[in-house]
């Protein structure tokens, strides 16, 4: 299969923000597994033993991460790449490594980066490199409680509190369960919009070794770790990016941004002329709305009777009704410069169809039942 590397796109500009409150397009789930201890060309592997042919051993961190990811099931291929940072630690910066990868003839698109070996200091360097890539990439960083205190790990999280960096905590550095690789695999082997990372079941892991105090601190910090609340059931706890938003929210944003760009670009190329009148407006509006309807079908956008642009009536504790518009696409009033440049500027929003993150149940047991007057229940 020929590798497609697109040129720059000058036809449109798309910016998607996520406003999360508690009241073929590149797939944002694709990951690159990067080794920092061995030089490896971009390679697609289908099973963990392929790493042995690339010079890894079963005790290498990369081998364990790939093994943990494949153990989740549903993963057909993994992209691996390697740069021996020890060969030139000064010049082989994260920025240099990423640029070198992009220039590789066999380089493939990826959205999520997973590193094999990282400590707090190297994590900061990678986080600084990824922070500006909020519309392009997502960095999964895993640290362990043996080499770092939970306070140090949380300080890293707060220093780089952005939506495209997610911090995971492992309980040790031997026989480790790689929460970053496991989380990616569970996200990759299901449809975007069909799950939330928090409470996602994981497989093939052992009993986590966190004290109760450590578990409470991890939860309160918003750091991600494996939890085992009932026998035989393990899940990802928190599922939050460093800024406190759900990890999947940033993946939705990447999907939406790339899908909008792809569909608008296709329209602009295939239509000989999009007129700067009502007809042209309706063409572009329909394209943008089409993406939001696709998000609705995926389980990302909230809808009423199938309409992500409907009005939802919500009732407060006092019985007052309030109308909430779920979504809207509108053309901004054009300036004279916009008219001269034939520039249509749209703004839109839609409402996230979130998933349940906590259930709070209160009840009581009675010996007599509850008296009902007037026959009413």
Stretch 216-227: mean pLDDT: 96
pLDDT at position 158 over 70:
yes
- The pLDDT score that the predictor gives to residue 24 is 40
Write out pLDDT tens, residues 175-213: 678 999 999 999 999 999 999 999 999 988 988 899 999
Record the pTM: 0.88
Q: Which has more pLDDT, 146 or 17?
A: 146
Provide the mean pLDDT of the chain. Answer: 91
The domain limits of the chain are: 31-245, 274-350
pLDDT at 352 over 90: yes
User: Per CATH, the architecture of 31-245 is what?
Assistant: 3-Layer(aba) Sandwich (3.40)
How does residue 25 score in pLDDT terms, banded at 50, 70 and 90?
very low
pLDDT of 23: 37
The confidence score (pLDDT) of residue 13 equals 78
Which token pair is 334? Answer: 């054009």
pLDDT at 308 over 90: yes
Counting residues of the chain whose pLDDT is more than 90, the rounded percentage is: 80
Kindly report which listed range (309-313, 322-326, 349-353, 371-375) carries the lowest average pLDDT score.
371-375
Would the pLDDT of 9 be above 70? no
């Amino acid at each position: 299969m020929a590798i497609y590397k697109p040129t720059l796109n000058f036809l449109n500009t798309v910016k998607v923000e996520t406003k999360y409150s508690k009241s073929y397009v590149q797939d944002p789930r694709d990951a690159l597994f990067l080794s920092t201890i061995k030089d490896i060309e971009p390679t697609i592997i289908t099973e963990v033993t392929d790493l042995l042919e690339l010079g890894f051993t079963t005790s290498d961190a990369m081998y364990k991460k790939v093994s943990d990811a494949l153990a989740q099931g549903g993963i057909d291929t993994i992209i691996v790449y390697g740069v021996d940072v020890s060969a030139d630690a000064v010049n082989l910066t994260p920025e240099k490594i990423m640029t070198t990868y992009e220039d590789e003839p066999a380089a493939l698109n990826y959205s999520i980066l997973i590193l094999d070996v990282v400590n707090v200091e190297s994590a900061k360097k990678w986080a600084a490199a990824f922070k500006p890539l909020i519309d392009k990439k997502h960095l999964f960083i895993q640290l362990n409680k043996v080499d770092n205190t939970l306070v140090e790990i949380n300080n890293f999280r707060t220093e780089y509190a952005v939506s495209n960096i997610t911090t995971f905590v492992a309980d040790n550095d031997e026989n480790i369960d790689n929460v970053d690789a496991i989380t990616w695999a569970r996200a990759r082997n299901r449809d975007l919009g069909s799950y939330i990372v928090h409470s996602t079941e994981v497989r093939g892991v052992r009993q986590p070794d966190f004290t109760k105090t450590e578990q409470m601190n991890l939860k309160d910090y918003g750091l991600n770790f494996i939890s085992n609340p009932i026998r035989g059931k393990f899940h990802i706890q928190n599922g939050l990016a460093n800024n406190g938003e759900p990890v999947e929210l940033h993946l939705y944003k990447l999907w939406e941004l790339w899908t909008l760009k792809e569909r608008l670009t296709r329209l602009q190329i295939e239509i000989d002329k999009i007129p700067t009148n009502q007809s042209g407006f309706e063409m572009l509006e329909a394209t943008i709305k089409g993406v939001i309807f696709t998000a609705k079908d995926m389980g990302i956008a909230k809808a009423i009777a199938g309409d992500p642009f409907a009005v939802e009536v919500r009732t407060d504790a006092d019985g007052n009704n309030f109308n909430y518009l779920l979504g809207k696409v509108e053309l901004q009033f054009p300036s004279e410069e916009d008219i001269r440049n034939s520039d249509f500027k749209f703004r839109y929003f839609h409402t996230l169809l979130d998933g349940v993150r906590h259930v709070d149940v209160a009840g009581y047991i009675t010996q007599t039942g509850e008296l009902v007057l007037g026959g009413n229940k």
